[in-house]
Amino acid sequence: MHFGEHYTVDGYNGDERLLDDESVVFSCLEKLPIDLGMHLLSEPKVYRTDGNDIKDPGGITGVVIIAESHVAVHTFPKRGFVSADVYTCKNGMDMEYIKNFIVNAFGLKDVEVNFFKRGTRYPEANIY
């Protein structure tokens, strides 16, 4: 038994135009959780961020809080890169669907994914 699951998608060589479009990020954050049977607690929040002249050339950051936890997307258009994560207390999320959703949303040519079981020692009953 584990508490939840955390799935990350890092995408490479994406479409700069899609990665730089706040409405694309907003749409991802609004649609993906619903497609996965999750429940939005708020409207997605999307922000344009400036670069830091080190490794971050700036881009778009967005997050949506869901009853089951959160979904976040960070784009770096000038690098053709996106970093997305879905964290949920639900078990058995459709990782293939998530990967394909992110690939299609940003026109990615390559991806790497990671999956983590969270709370592997989560108590089966209240301890207090």
**Does residue 54 register a pLDDT over 80?**
no
Give residue 52's pLDDT.
Answer: 81
Q: DSSP assignment of 61-81, as one string?
A: EEEEEETTEEEEEEEEGGGTE
Give residue 11's pLDDT.
Answer: 98
What is the rounded CA–CA span in Å between residue 117 and residue 4? 6
**Does residue 1 register a pLDDT over 80?**
no
Nearest to 90 by CA among 9, 6, 32, 10: 6
Neighbours of 66 (CB within 10 A): 23
pTM: 0.93
- Domains of the chain by start residue, with CATH: 4-118 (3.60.90.10)
pLDDT in tens, 69-94: 999 999 999 999 999 999 999 889 99
Taking residues 94-117, report their average pLDDT.
98
